[in-house]
A and B are shown apart, each in its own frame.
Chain A
Amino acid sequence: MKRVLLTLTAIAVLTVLFGFTAQTAHAQSTALTSEQIDKIKSNCTSIKSTLNQLHASDALLRVNRGQVYESMASKLMDPFNSRLGSNRLDSKATSAVTTSYRDALNGFRNDYKSYEEKISSALRINCFDEPELFYSTIEQARVNRAKVHDDVNKLHRYIDDYRQAVGDFLLNFERISE
Chain B
Amino acid sequence: MAEPINLQPDEDMTFWDKHRLSLMLILTVLIALILTVVSMIAYNASGTAQLDLSRPGVSSVSDKVDRTDKITEYGAFGSINKDSINEFTKLYDEQAKKAKAVDAFNGDPLNPEILEFGVTDSNE
Chain A interface (Cβ within 8 Å of chain B)?
33, 35-36, 39-40, 43, 46-47, 50-52, 54-69, 71-72, 75-76, 78-80, 82-84, 86-87, 89, 109-110, 112-113, 116, 120, 123, 135, 138-139, 141-142, 145-146, 148-149, 152, 155-156, 159-160, 162-163, 166-167, 169-170, 173-174, 177
How many Å from the CB of A77 to the closest CB on chain B?
A: 8
DSSP class of B's interface residues: helix, strand, loop or mixed? Answer: loop
- In the assembled complex, the Cα of A145 lies from the Cα of B109 at a distance in Å of 9
Asked whether, in the complex, the Cβ of A159 is within 8 Å of the Cβ of B96, the reply is yes
Stretch from B10-18, B33-41, B82-90 that touches the partner: B82-90
| B74 contact from A40, A52, A76, A169, Cβ within 8 A | A76
Asked if B57 is at the interface of the complex by the 8 Å CB criterion, the answer is yes
Asked whether, in the complex, the Cβ of B76 is within 8 Å of the Cβ of A59, the reply is no
Asked if B102 is at the interface of the complex by the 8 Å CB criterion, the answer is yes
Asked if B9 is at the interface of the complex by the 8 Å CB criterion, the answer is no
| A76 contact from B77, B82, B88, B117, Cβ within 8 A | B88
Q: List 21 A-B contacts (CB under 8 A).
A: A36-B112, A39-B118, A50-B109, A50-B115, A54-B110, A56-B61, A58-B105, A60-B64, A66-B51, A67-B69, A68-B98, A72-B96, A75-B72, A82-B76, A82-B77, A112-B50, A120-B57, A142-B111, A155-B99, A163-B93, A166-B92
Instruction: Using CB atoms, name the residue of chain B closest to A167.
Output: B89
| A159 contact from B71, B74, B100, Cβ within 8 A | B100
Asked whether, in the complex, the Cβ of B116 is within 8 Å of the Cβ of A39, the reply is yes
How many Å from the CB of A101 to the closest CB on chain B?
A: 11
Asked whether, in the complex, the Cβ of A55 is within 8 Å of the Cβ of B58, the reply is yes
| A60 contact from B61, B78, B100, B119, Cβ within 8 A | B61
How many Å from the CB of B111 to the closest CB on chain A?
A: 7
How many Å from the CB of B110 to the closest CB on chain A?
A: 4
Whether A163 touches B104, Cβ cut-off 8 Å, given contacts A86-B77, A173-B82, is no
How many Å from the CB of B120 to the closest CB on chain A?
A: 7
- In the assembled complex, the Cα of A109 lies from the Cα of B105 at a distance in Å of 13
Closest A-B pairs by Cβ, 7 of them: A142-B110, A79-B76, A39-B117, A82-B76, A60-B61, A149-B105, A75-B73
Instruction: Using CB atoms, name the residue of chain B closest to A69.
Output: B99
Asked whether, in the complex, the Cβ of A110 is within 8 Å of the Cβ of B61, the reply is no
Size class of the B contact interface (CB-based, 8 Å): 35 or more
- In the assembled complex, the Cα of A109 lies from the Cα of B45 at a distance in Å of 12
Asked whether, in the complex, the Cβ of A83 is within 8 Å of the Cβ of B78, the reply is yes
- In the assembled complex, the Cα of A127 lies from the Cα of B100 at a distance in Å of 37
Asked whether, in the complex, the Cβ of B80 is within 8 Å of the Cβ of A173, the reply is yes
How many Å from the CB of B86 to the closest CB on chain A?
A: 8
